[in-house]
Amino acid sequence: MSMRADGGRAETVVRAALALVDSGGLESLTMRKLAASLDMQLPTIYRMFDGKRELLDEMAEALIGDVLDRVRPGGAGWPERVAALARGLRAVLLEQRDGARIVGGSYTAKQPTMTVAETALTDLGEAGFPPETAIWAGTTVFCYVLGEVLEQQGADGGAAESLAGSAPGGAYPHLAAMPVERFLDFDARFEFGLRVILAGLRAELSGGT
């Protein structure tokens, strides 16, 4: 049995794996635990997936496949469309526990990832970016989203207290004066960073001026 020959069953396994991560975190996911949760024999799982790395790649594809459904119309201009795609990716990753860790480092080339990449490259290409620059622009936005989601998903309930007490004013006056609550305002800081990236891409499109 292969994943291609039994796509429906494989998708069920992938969604079950995502549910296990949601309940216990990425470290809790094992092939044995996944098989038990589905009342399957372990060899059955391994006939669909060569190992955990392949399973994680399919989990990443499943998440990426949900991105375009979450994109809200961002306006007629390419910056608005790219921003809408970035927000859609962020929303999907935040809904899944350890979503950024699942997607980060996955270099599969299947239909969901290719569709999202094609969407971004179409918007950037139509804006006038040369192909190489369009690829770099797309990966810059993608990696920014991953990094911000990774930070947000890694912050626990005590992050504010930990940060507030970690910078003595004498040695680090600027850090001590920093409004910690703003540092942890992940929505606001995401939008700030996205604006900065888009402003830089606009400048690049204008010849770096």
pLDDT in tens, 54-82: 999 999 999 999 999 988 776 789 999 99
Residue 176 binned pLDDT confidence (cut-offs 50, 70, 90): confident
**Residue length of the chain:** 209
Arithmetic mean of pLDDT over the chain? 89
Residues of the chain with CATH 1.10.357.10: 67-205
Residue 157 binned pLDDT confidence (cut-offs 50, 70, 90): low
Select from 45, 42, 39 the least CA-distant residue to 10.
45
* The pLDDT of residue 2 is above 60: no
User: Which distant-in-sequence residues (6+ apart) come within 8 Å of 41 by Cβ?
Assistant: 35
- Phi/psi for 123 (5° steps) reads -60, -45
The whole-number average pLDDT for the span 11-37 is 96
Query: Does domain 67-205 correspond to CATH entry 1.10.357.10?
Result: yes
pLDDT in tens, 82-91: 999 999 999 9
Query: Does domain 7-50 correspond to CATH entry 1.10.10.60?
Result: yes
The alpha carbon of residue 131 and the mean position of all alpha carbons in its chain are separated, in whole angstroms, by: 23
Residues of the chain with CATH 1.10.10.60: 7-50
Output the 3-class SS for 15-41: HHHHHHHHHHCHHHCCHHHHHHHCCCC
Quickly list H helices, 78-165.
Answer: 78-95, 99-103, 111-127, 131-154, 159-164
* The pLDDT of residue 173 is above 70: yes
